[in-house]
Structure 1
Amino acid sequence: MTTALAPRPGTPVPAAAAEAARIAELVALRNRIDAEIAEEVRAFARAAVEARLEQIAAEQVTVEQVEATVVDRLGRALRVSPTRARAQLRIGRDLHAGLDRVRTSYGAGELDQPKVAAIVAAAAGLDAGERAEVDRRLSSYDLPSLGLRRVADLARTIVAEVAPEKFAERARAARRDRHVTISPAGDGMALLRAYLPAEQGVTCYAALRKAVTEHWVGSEPVTRTRGQIMADTLVERLTGAAPTEAAAAVELQVLVPVESLVDTAGGPLPVELPGFGPVPAEFLVEPGRATWRRLVTREGVVIGADSRRRTFTGVLAEVIRSRDRGRCTAPHCDAPIEHLDHLHRWSEGGSTTLENGAGRCAFHNLVREIPP
């Protein structure tokens, strides 16, 4: 009598092993397709440039204009942004300028596009001979088994060894290019990125972590997480105000579907912060968010706008001053305008609009605020 033995712990089940092999085949196929696309991109760019050589020689177009045209056409063909199209162009070009072993591994499906892009980016600015030496040294490593970050760091390290002066100049150029950017993160959030020298970035992060420790050992009850404290501290130190006060200092334009104003039977529709996506309408009435301008839309097209600013500023303020001829509008008063006031008080629901604004002298504005 035989007894069936259970598979040892960690031994793959045949069906699972077959599925894993199938996935590996698909990944390799995807990598080979990406490599073919890189070859086609290079061939397309080469043909496009050759077709323009006479125009370039006659100075009818510049090399930069030709490159921009190629990138534009590639972006439309690949259905990607110009930035990604330019990166694809760089991969197709540089893989034939010394990175032969990397190109072969790419075509065999062993390396994926992110790893190849990291190697190409690390070798940017090198000549063909220097790239060939980088390629030779990389071949001694098992690149397919390494993670993307390790491949990128390894490539940069080898570049620093092969071309130390070019690597140093590139590092100096990167420090000159320090900057801050903002991009949408969805759900009404934004990513604020600072591109800084490493020591400055580490110092900034350490200062925020120190703020967390100081808050934890302080007398106030801890009601926020570490991340919330660090984020709030960043806002406070950059703006000099609490997060809600800082938000109130900036005007936000908000796209509001007209359907949400005339028909709420189906529930409130989300509003949209241009460039940052949809957010719940309730967020816009929280304390500290009083400075926003509503743009009413119908089927995505702006059909009207109003102002929900707390005060009259900018062009609106100038229009009111001009309309009132620079003089106080209180009866019998002829003093110069010192303040712009809401005819229907803001605290009572009055809006910051041309029709609800009036020029006042300092005296009459003060008198109006005295309780009856």
Structure 2
Amino acid sequence: MREITREMENMEPDGAMFDLLTGTDLDSLCTDQLVTLAILARKMKSACEWAELAVLKRVDDTTELAMAIKEPEQSVARRKEASGALDVLPRLAEQLRCGELDFARFDAVRERIRHLDQPEQITEVEDALVGVAAGLNRTQLCRKTTGLVAKADPEGYETRCQKAAKERRIEFSPLPDGMAKLTWTLQATDAHRLFQQICADAKALPADDRTTDQKRSDVLMDRVLGNRQQWNVRTYVTVSIETLLGLTNDPGQLAGYGPISADTARELAMHGPWRGILLDEHRHATAITTDTYRPTALMKEFTRAQSGGICTAPGCNRPVQEHDHIIPWPQGDTTPTNLQGLCVRHHHIKHENYTVTRDTNGTTHWTTPTGRHHTTHPTQH
């Protein structure tokens, strides 16, 4: 059996890769080799997903197929609908075939471009994604695609946001063992503000035997029952001055969520303090006005603007919870260029055995204990 090396991660999926995956003694591998094998398994899975879509595209009788694979016909029909994206998004489909993109991310793009009527609009979105999609996780890719769709079809995006707002609802689902689930669908800005407040309420509680999730559930019930009144969290939204003045309908950016409609961003701007953020030629935040908060609070606000409110560790979708000196203090200064927003877990891990550096353009480099290198980029506004 061939030795497992990192060079194999650049291979295209084939029969030899399958034989390697199924014939290797996993107990004999080191951590770095196991990571490589996991990457190969995902590449092989993506290639098989592409093959299934290619087959579905050519099968007319979904009943026949559903019976054969023991799947509900509705599921097969939905999958067949997704197979049309092989032609609509040919370059991303090729990345799926080569194992560079998995089906979940490919389908996330398909879901977001399906309302675009003009082929040139879809091409514009794919042009912007084809070079970066493989390096983004699903949540990051969803946000970026939503922003690109809004930019390609701003009027249509506004209309769809207004229509979607009418679909707000609450659903009740029974669960075993005396439990039930409430699902609340509402506008992103309202949901984000409510969740931030729930987290703040839970964090303010004294330490006891409850988990964080249990505390969040309890404080939400308190608010529903009217036992808590004060709201003390902020919602951070970035919007261009052109959109603010109504000259364009480019979407705003809700920290921790992603693109929101121009109308919603303008409405929020009317109810809170403003900051001026200076952007560089890549539309990355480089400076912020200093007329309201003391420097430490302002620096925290700036790191949130840089990261879109999301932990800057590679692949993480958690909200910013702590602010970290990239070059540890006191060797590193407490300045915006040396600060990054992280979740609690990645803040702790970073100080254990991970190395982090940042380029002058805001690109952050993480080096793992096995020597793997990953990069994250500042939010493009």
Q: Shorter-chain TM-score: which interval?
A: 0.3 to 0.5
Higher radius of gyration, 1 or 2: 1
TM-score (norm 2): 0.45
TM-score (norm 1): 0.45
> Which one has more relative contact order, counting CA pairs under 8 Å at least 6 apart?
2
